[in-house]
Amino acid sequence: MQLYNNLSAKERAELISQAGKERLTISFYKYAKIGNTEIFRNHMFLAWDQLEVLGRIYIATEGINAQLSVPAENFESFKTHLDSITFLENVRLNVAIEHDNFAFLKLKVKVRHKIVADGLNDDTFDVTNKGVHVGAQKFNELIEDPNTVLVDMRNHYESEIGHFKNAITPDVDTFRESLDLIEDDLKAHKEDKNLVMYCTGGIRCEKASAYYKHKGFKKVFQLEGGIINYARQVEKEGLENKFIGKNFVFDQRRSERISDDVIANCHQCGKPADLHTNCANEACHLLFIQCDECKEKMENCCSTNCMEINRLPYEEQKALRKGQGNSNDIFKKGRADHLPYKKDLRNIFDVLKK
């Protein structure tokens, strides 16, 4: 009985290509009490492997967080399986705006301590006492209200390529960093302002809204289904799209375009660009924004040093990496000192002081 992926990404990509099936890219999450996470994890893997599901799924005692792709012809069977699980029946599925058959190349179902690394002690507050969920139309109305503070709950490299107009975009590397930062900077507005939050698919806001209500914020709202669902609702209902740029996603696509605006710049030359890439040097793998011209000139690398290393035969590169961890730059997400046009660091909460 196979309980883990046993194919390489290259082998799986070849099988996807040969199959010629159109795949749907989907994400969903659900907070729920899961008793035996290992048994549940194995059940999900066995069922989904049969349906040719690929993706990254995290399971914890607090619920499930899934980003995946499934052949379009298997979607109904996939949905039927979800509906057969009590707490996942009719769960909201965020279907991507742009699909890519190669968005995911493996099925990884992992048991984790939490489905999102939030650094919170859930025993100290009521995680079910969440903010008000709002759809696209109500969200548009709220963010036009001068009594609203709109906060992007994503990280700096996500909001850099796209965000809602007039949103506060915390200059943080991780979700857990943003929680206390936002609470501290907005503490004077706990009673009088609408705190409206959004993220990619809604999962970060789900926990953050309960946390901020616990911290004393009285008027807490969150965008139902996040940016992904918002984009679909806007198109379906003919609403004004107030999101500018691209939505960062955590798969091979790296982003999906929501508006035609390009609001970011190439980290190497400064030209307008909004496509993230990972440095081709496996010992670096830095995530940064690179335009097509620099991609060609720098051979998909973030520096001349990485380019020279990447030109070496594979065995020589492997020998250089032996005993060495990844460069610390891998955690900087576009902030490495050698990138001349990296995003400026600034106090994004200055908007409240104007």
Q: Supply the residues annotated as catalytic.
A: 199
Positive/negative CA dihedral, 340, 253, 106, 35: positive
Which pair of tokens denotes residue 96? 């991507």
Interatomic CA distance for residues 194 and 149, integer angstroms: 6
Interatomic CA distance for residues 184 and 147, integer angstroms: 19
For residue 351, give the DSSP letter: G
Beta bridge partners of 132: 221
Which pair of tokens denotes residue 5? 């992926």
Which pair of tokens denotes residue 287? 């995530």
Long-range contacts of 43-47 (CB under 8 A, 24+ apart): 44/109, 45/3, 45/4, 45/107, 45/109, 46/1, 46/3, 47/81
Contact 250, 56 (CB under 8 A): yes
